[in-house]
Amino acid sequence: VEREYYRAFSTAYLCDRALEGRIIYHGRMGHLHFPGIDHVLSVRVVADHEQRVWRAIRQIRLDAAKARKYVEEVDEDRERWAQFIYGVGCDDPGHFDMVVNLHHMSVENAASALTSVAQLPDFQRTPASQKAMTDLRLAAKSRIALARHERTSRCKFKVLADAGVVTVAYLPQDAQYANFITEALAPV
């Protein structure tokens, strides 16, 4: 249930920022908070392993062996996090629109290329993608309201929104809490 709360809060927060204007979210797997939002460009940036080790040596002041171990542990932690929160692997290219490898490309050139791609019609907000984002935010905020309500906080709900109409589905063992759903969603 806590995983659902985390995802709902993160999705609501990111949707709020995205609906305020254009955003760039730099982090792992954040694009998975936007299922079905066509104008979101998701990019996986891959840095050369040796560059990452060298960065760890300089920034954290580790020797080479400890820096390698550190980079490996960070990668393992990120993989476990992605599996735990999203149920997917970090490195699956199918979850990204593009994969940029910095081994043979400078950061500046990668930024220039990504800026050009972000301006393509495929990644521009449309009325349909705006509606999808608004619906996603409403569903996430509704899930948060259910999490904050005393009677519904421990229930497993699936929450969807479509054009301002919120639908809450629940497992049979949580049917006794159905009467509290409307009360929990009143603030939303």
Higher per-residue confidence, 140 vs 47: 140
Q: Say how far apart CA 3 and CA 11 lie, in whole Å.
A: 12
Q: What integer pLDDT is reported at residue 142 of this predicted model? A: 97
Q: At what angle do helices 2-20 and 127-148 cross, to 10 degrees?
A: 140
Contact at 8 Å (CB) between 69 and 47?
A: no
Torsional sign, CA 147, 150, 156, 157: negative
- pLDDT of 121 higher than 90: yes
Gap between the Cα atoms of 62 and 178, Å rounded: 55
Average pLDDT of the residues of the chain: 91
Q: What is the pLDDT of residues 52-83, one digit of tens each?
A: 999 999 999 999 999 999 999 999 998 998 89
pLDDT, tens digit, 9 for 90 and up, residues 122-165: 999 999 999 999 999 999 999 999 999 999 998 889 999 999 99
What length is written for the chain? Answer: 188
Q: Would the pLDDT of 182 be above 90?
A: yes
Percent of the chain with pLDDT over 70: 100
Q: How confident is the model at residue 35 (pLDDT cuts 50, 70, 90)?
A: confident
